[in-house]
Structure 1
């Protein structure tokens, strides 16, 4: 397999920005993050309290969350993206917490409010949620936006593929919940993105590399986000880490893991993210001391230097 077999971009993996450029004919497309004020079933008591041990939503929520309405958040996000990134088209991204965790009628009101603003330049809707916060009615609602001509994806936070890890994280859902969600989405027109955290306590290198094979099993998965474990202030894990630190990836170690995972990952999957950064004021560890662009350049250069190619070791049938 040569790099030319990859569909999007000139990198050694299918690059999300290149995917967007091709899909939208060279237009600059930017995600506008919206906080709908949702919570999670393991925060409000329906499944548990305290949330996932690694989580503090302030570590990944933009300043626009402090604005009063969804409309203000969208307008602020669009203005910022246009001025700073020369964005021309927008994807509305409901990100913080579980953005399908409400009655369908309430969800529709929020999604509609966000999508009606500057509708000419909104091309998509992305909704982040948990596998156990999805049902047929919610899928039908999201599909209705696709029928309007928008691209719609559901982003499922699977985090780990191991139930013991999920239990230790106070996740409140199991890997079987993820499998059930994928069955619900099997015949859906929605795109599916999965989000994983690499380097969770108790997971060995061998266990982490198996994430690729598990993701490959589901033909409906179009996108993936890989994320190294962050220890952030305000999280349960942050308190535990300060009391008794445990090993975290260095940039070099994390890149090594990616170099093992990517060749095993289906070559048709588009990678939306290879890593993520928490706000520096929120981050306890690991502190790599580099800007986002520097980390991206380091990983890309290492993939190139080692001749690591997404899908080069994949031996299954390609999804269509």
Structure 2
């Protein structure tokens, strides 16, 4: 289940994990991401690029209920920070604009939203994280985000999903891998920390095809963070309807852990891994249901990696 506040406190691992990176950067302080919904839509939903969105997507599946139920941005930030302080003893915060496409608006409007969110507790807010699509990035929006880097750490998260245009077409992504490459070129000398998000497990992609994602990510020095997710099927998505009619093969947890053990040695060791898997709210999840809590899944994957002696980037040495 995706909580409105994402904890980032973990022990030593054989890969360059985000929790350890944050602890080191902020001298051991507990830093939490506070997810906020800025009320954006998506060009793949509003008709600009298409309708219905990506076939795997139901925005509610990765938007915390508190954000959906609290339209006021200021209240979302304040309540999220309060919960993190009370429940997780948080010290500092990263404001994370996650749902939909958070650069899909004129720059003056984006500035108004970002300014409001960051102004609420400037002494304790240390970062801004903005999730978007590669076809909604341009030089003007990059310049806006860079204008915050003298006061905050700013990362720009873009959905790569797959490196294959055939897959991007099948999932109705509405943009090509070439458009991601173009966005990465714009970010080549940027002050922003660039994160890309991938999905593993589309049934028509072989293991070899998925392992090649690492080779493509490694090409771009400007990529600092990655989020690896396994494909999960959720209610309210086009893929969910198709899966119910005709189920197809998805990763079991042991299979996914096995795959990550092959993938991680191929990933550049300087890249910080923010996530190795993703989960939706249980009431929206159709499959695969691993019937474990998020912490239990993380433990299983980490133990598999540790027991096998897997080390990020070892295949590149």
Q: TM-score range by the shorter chain?
A: over 0.9
Deviation at 1:63, TM superposition (A): 1.9
3-state SS of 1:98 partner: coil
- In the alignment, what sits opposite 2:290? 288
Distance in structure 1 (CA, Å) of the matches to 2:49 and 2:12: 44
Q: Deviations over 1:233-286 (max 9, x none)?
A: 000000000000000000011011101110000000110000111111000000
Match of 2:87 among 84, 87, 93: 84
- In the alignment, what sits opposite 1:261? 263
Any conservation in 2 of the 1:9–1:15 contact (CA below 8 Å)? no
Q: Deviations over 1:126-182 (max 9, x none)?
A: 0000000000000000000002x2000000111000000000000000000000000
Q: Deviations over 1:197-234 (max 9, x none)?
A: 00013111110111110000000011100000010000
Any conservation in 2 of the 1:186–1:220 contact (CA below 8 Å)? yes
- In the alignment, what sits opposite 1:44? 46
Matched, 1:216 2:205: no
3-state SS of 1:76 partner: helix
Deviation at 1:9, TM superposition (A): 5.9
Distance in structure 1 (CA, Å) of the matches to 2:109 and 2:12: 42
3-state SS of 2:314 partner: coil
Matched, 1:74 2:77: yes
Matched, 1:311 2:316: no
In the superposition, the TM-score normalised over structure 2's length comes to 0.96
- In the alignment, what sits opposite 1:102? 105
Distance in structure 2 (CA, Å) of the matches to 1:83 and 1:226: 29
- In the alignment, what sits opposite 2:128? 125
Question: Where do 5+ consecutive residues of structure 2 fail to align?
Answer: 1-9
Question: Where do 5+ consecutive residues of structure 1 fail to align?
Answer: 1-7, 316-320
Distance in structure 2 (CA, Å) of the matches to 1:314 and 1:275: 23
3-state SS of 2:41 partner: coil
Structure 1's consecutive aligned runs of 4 or more residues displaced over 3 angstroms after TM superposition are: none
Any conservation in 1 of the 2:37–2:71 contact (CA below 8 Å)? no
Distance in structure 2 (CA, Å) of the matches to 1:277 and 1:48: 26
3-state SS of 1:132 partner: helix
Match of 1:151 among 132, 140, 153: 153
3-state SS of 1:272 partner: strand
Deviation at 1:84, TM superposition (A): 1.1
What's the RMSD between the two structures over aligned residues? Answer: 1.0
Distance in structure 1 (CA, Å) of the matches to 2:62 and 2:144: 26
Any conservation in 1 of the 2:134–2:159 contact (CA below 8 Å)? yes
3-state SS of 1:294 partner: helix
Number of aligned residues: 307
3-state SS of 1:195 partner: strand
Distance in structure 2 (CA, Å) of the matches to 1:73 and 1:274: 27
- In the alignment, what sits opposite 1:318? none
3-state SS of 1:138 partner: helix
- In the alignment, what sits opposite 1:28? 30
- In the alignment, what sits opposite 1:164? 166
Any conservation in 2 of the 1:142–1:152 contact (CA below 8 Å)? yes
Correspondence list, 1:171-250, <5 A: 171-250=173-252
Distance in structure 2 (CA, Å) of the matches to 1:187 and 1:214: 19
Any conservation in 2 of the 1:9–1:19 contact (CA below 8 Å)? no
Deviates further, 199-208 or 126-135:
199-208
Distance in structure 2 (CA, Å) of the matches to 1:86 and 1:229: 32
